[in-house]
Chains A and B, each alone.
Chain A
């Protein structure tokens, strides 16, 4: 009954109700988007880091993975030591560099040297995986994997043979080392920005191409703890930090913290705008219900005069606020998901970020919590006007209504 009366009151002023619902919907959409932004970066980065199960990154001392051109010397011994630890399930060493591509539309490409069986940097989308660099003149050419961007920009196709070189001498126009390779497959590179043309090849081949100073180097190694709980991962990280003084071991949690620190601007912006949208929702409902109650003083007085209990009036006005906020939230949920896609599309153009990285990620727990907060806030906003409505002095209100 109360619900029907509240609904009838809202329907009596369709324009006003529509505008209020629209206002709350926009506020809810903004709040939802900001919650998705605040939680999405961490969630997205976490799933990106854990795509292939590696929970630890080992990089040169004092650096983040691929944050500088620094490399780790004595990589073989470090990888062997890590693999000898029974708590470590797998270790994937990676060396990054830039190689020149002869007679190509692009002069050079970012290159990753990897061990095929343990690599966690790409997934094959077409063709076949990289092969080991066998020595001997009769051995088949080594196969490499490239990104879609590489194929598009270099104008090559799977199956093409190309020559990759390093150690160019601009004066003599020669390269110190080069190798003919076959493009065996196309891969989706998890950590490399989509706009970067990238090549993956066998680690030994890349070391050979980069010369003697790189024969035992790597840019980073990824390690997977046998047990996935955070305490075990942290124990392995601490063990690496203690036994390998020339490297920095970073757990997924630490990496997320550091990325969050770099992108803290977005989190703080999300907090500020989220708070503003909550405030707008509260103010809108409070104003609307207050004015609605003021307008209906006579009506409420009549209801009280014919025996409606104070609590009944309170419930009805309270329900009006609840209905308005609920309707706005339903609209806001749809609007928020659409605008999140739009905003995510804008931010995904950020240079240097992996193409799989999302800024806005729907996290059910956080999303529902935010909308519940708005619902509570909007409903509470109707509480004071509801109390005022229930406390209207009946005789005075009726007299004022009669006199006009």
Chain B
């Protein structure tokens, strides 16, 4: 099998750009490599999703063209590759084909043109000076640091991250109000018990401490149950989206750090709510709490 290397400077192209119809037509004829391959015939690599959908296998011969309906060039499938778990591409349903650079240039009648090329500096230290020198002589193009390109291309995820953060704030506010409301009610429901404790001589601080401890335990148990529900939900979410987008990308992840953060936040909210509810109750006299 010819090993197809994706040239670093390969022109990015979609299937539409190189003609989907001829490939599909070739699939119908279903020819496999039979050892009679033309010496000029080149190998191409296709993504696994495309191979699966069109029933193509390594060795199959296809015709590729830059315009639908034209004969184009003959090529054989030398490799089938799995796409990276790249979130930037996850929602794109298009197929990907990788060709040798000169093969694509010839097919697209682009002579000696590329969309971009990567440059590696010898020692990794002289990036700025290399950048300055390239841009000084550049005509019609610009050089950028890989880091800057990465920052630019990760904008989507930064936006999604900010959106998740905002949704998280709303959810935490809703949870905090819910928790405070529940604790207030559960404490108020037991005001006679608390009045009895106070009449027995138990101090206000002890009563509040007891309520706070109870709130903390409730929060902790709630967090563990919530984490369990979250973990099951993450399994469902991953299974659903991995199937939907046909990607190994992990969409929802419950890490120990996330669990620790959620539990910590829940404890803080629970203790705060418990303290507020307890303190509100012990401020009243025991007899008033008894309804006398």
Residues on A close to B: CB < 8 A? 13, 15-16, 19-20, 22-23, 26-27, 29-30, 33, 60-63, 67-70, 73, 100, 107-108, 168-170, 173, 175, 213, 245-246, 261-265, 269, 273, 276-277, 280, 283-284, 287-288, 291, 294-295, 339, 342-343, 346-347, 349-351, 404
Are A294's CB and B189's CB within 8 A? yes
- Interface segment among B118-126, B134-142, B255-263: the answer is B134-142
Name B16's contact: one of A26, A63, A287, A288 (CB within 8 Å).
A63
Q: With A69-B17, A263-B91, A346-B162 given, is the CB distance from A23 to B178 under 8 Å?
A: yes
Total count of chain B residues near the partner, CB < 8 A? 48
| Closest CB pairs A-B (n = 10) | A168-B140, A63-B16, A68-B14, A262-B91, A23-B177, A26-B174, A62-B20, A62-B16, A70-B17, A61-B68
Are A339's CB and B170's CB within 8 A? yes
Q: With A16-B184, A262-B91, A287-B182 given, is the CB distance from A61 to B139 under 8 Å?
A: no
Are A27's CB and B174's CB within 8 A? yes
Q: Please report the number of residue pairs spanning A and B whose Cβ atoms sit closer than 8 angstroms.
A: 132
Closest-CB distance, B184 to chain A (whole angstroms) = 6
Closest-CB distance, A370 to chain B (whole angstroms) = 16
- B89-117 vs A: 1/0 string, CB under 8 Å? 00111100000000000000100000000
Closest-CB distance, B44 to chain A (whole angstroms) = 17
Does B13 touch A at the CB level, under 8 Å?
A: yes
Residues on B close to A: CB < 8 A? 13-17, 19-21, 67-69, 91-94, 109, 138-142, 155-156, 159, 162-163, 166-167, 170-171, 173-174, 177-178, 180-182, 184-186, 188-189, 192, 241, 244, 280, 290-291
If A60-B17, A73-B67, A404-B290 are given as contacts, then 5 extra A-B residue pairs at C-beta distance below 8 Å, sorted by A number, are A15-B184, A23-B181, A287-B182, A288-B181, A350-B159
Closest-CB distance, B244 to chain A (whole angstroms) = 7
Are B20's CB and A295's CB within 8 A? no
Closest-CB distance, A57 to chain B (whole angstroms) = 14
Nearest-neighbor residue (CB-CB) of A17 within chain B: B181
Are A291's CB and B174's CB within 8 A? no
Are B163's CB and A19's CB within 8 A? no
Contacts of A261 in B (CB 8 A): 91, 93
Contacts of B109 in A (CB 8 A): 213
Are A246's CB and B67's CB within 8 A? yes
Contacts of A61 in B (CB 8 A): 16, 19-21, 68
Name A19's contact: one of B20, B21, B139, B177 (CB within 8 Å).
B177
Closest-CB distance, B46 to chain A (whole angstroms) = 15
Are B174's CB and A277's CB within 8 A? yes
Nearest-neighbor residue (CB-CB) of B140 within chain A: A168
Nearest-neighbor residue (CB-CB) of A173 within chain B: B139
Cα(A105)–Cα(B221), bound, Å = 60
Are A168's CB and B139's CB within 8 A? yes
Cα(A22)–Cα(B177), bound, Å = 7
Are A19's CB and B17's CB within 8 A? no
Cα(A343)–Cα(B159), bound, Å = 10
Cα(A347)–Cα(B140), bound, Å = 33
Contacts of B181 in A (CB 8 A): 16, 19-20, 23, 284, 287-288
Contacts of A273 in B (CB 8 A): 167, 171
Are B94's CB and A349's CB within 8 A? no
Nearest-neighbor residue (CB-CB) of A404 within chain B: B192
Contacts of B188 in A (CB 8 A): 13, 16, 291, 295
Residue from B21, B67, B291 having most chain A Cβ neighbours under 10 A: B67
Cα(A298)–Cα(B156), bound, Å = 59
Name B180's contact: one of A19, A29, A277 (CB within 8 Å).
A19
Closest-CB distance, B92 to chain A (whole angstroms) = 7
Contacts of A100 in B (CB 8 A): 140
Are A351's CB and B155's CB within 8 A? yes
Closest-CB distance, A131 to chain B (whole angstroms) = 27
Q: With A261-B93, A287-B185, A404-B192 given, is the CB distance from A349 to B177 under 8 Å?
A: no
Are A67's CB and B94's CB within 8 A? yes
Cα(A236)–Cα(B222), bound, Å = 58
Q: With A29-B170, A346-B166 given, is the CB distance from A170 to B140 under 8 Å?
A: yes
Nearest-neighbor residue (CB-CB) of A295 within chain B: B189
Contacts of B142 in A (CB 8 A): 107
Are A291's CB and B186's CB within 8 A? yes
Are A350's CB and B290's CB within 8 A? no
Contacts of A262 in B (CB 8 A): 91-92
Q: With A63-B16, A170-B140 given, is the CB distance from A30 to B189 under 8 Å?
A: no
Cα(A349)–Cα(B174), bound, Å = 26
Closest-CB distance, B139 to chain A (whole angstroms) = 5
Contacts of A33 in B (CB 8 A): 170
Cα(A380)–Cα(B170), bound, Å = 25
